[in-house]
Structure 1
Amino acid sequence: MKKMVLFASGNGSNAENIMAHFEKSGQGTVVGVFTNNSNAKVIERAKKFQIPTYIFNKTELSDDTVLNQLQELQPDLIVLAGFLLKFPIHIINAFPNKVINIHPALLPNYGGKGMYGIHVHQAVLENKEKETGITVHYVNEHFDEGEFIFQANINIENCSSAEEIAQKIHELEREHFPKVIATLLTSNF
Structure 2
Amino acid sequence: MLKLAVCVSGGGTNLQAIMDAIDNGTITNARIEVVISNNKNAYALERAKKHGIQSVCISPKDYESREAFNQNFLAKLDSYQVDLVVLAGFLVVIPEAMIKSYRNRIINIHPSLIPSFCGTGYYGLKVHEGVLNRGVKVTGATVHFVDEGTDTGPIILQKAVEVKQDDTPEVLQRRVMEQAEWIIMPKAIDLIANGRVTVSDGHVRIHE
- TM-score bracket for the superposition, by shorter chain length: over 0.9
1:157 Cα deviation from its structure 2 partner? 3.3
1:23 Cα deviation from its structure 2 partner? 3.0
- Opposite residue 5 of structure 1, the aligned amino acid is A
Cα distance in 1 for partners of 2:164, 2:34 equals 39
CA deviations 1:89-128 (Å, max 9, x no partner) are 1111111100010000011111112211111001100100
**Which of 171, 186, 205 is 1:178 aligned to?**
186
- Opposite residue 104 of structure 1, the aligned amino acid is P
- Opposite residue 136 of structure 2, the aligned amino acid is E
SS state at 1:126 partner: helix
SS state at 2:173 partner: helix
CA RMSD of aligned residues (A): 1.4
1:24 Cα deviation from its structure 2 partner? 3.3
TM (norm. structure 1) is: 0.94
In structure 1, the gaps of 5 or more residues are none
SS state at 2:73 partner: helix
Report the equivalent of 2:99: 92
Question: What does residue range 37-186 of structure 1 map to in structure 2 within 5 Å?
Answer: 37-58=39-60, 59=66, 61-63=69-71, 65-171=72-178, 172-186=180-194
SS state at 1:92 partner: helix
CA deviations 1:45-91 (Å, max 9, x no partner) are 1001111112112245412x222222221111100000011111111
* Structure 1 runs, 4 residues or longer, greater than 4 Å off: none
1:20 Cα deviation from its structure 2 partner? 2.0
Report the equivalent of 1:6: 6
In structure 2, the gaps of 5 or more residues are 61-65, 199-208
TM (norm. structure 2) is: 0.86
- Opposite residue 36 of structure 1, the aligned amino acid is N
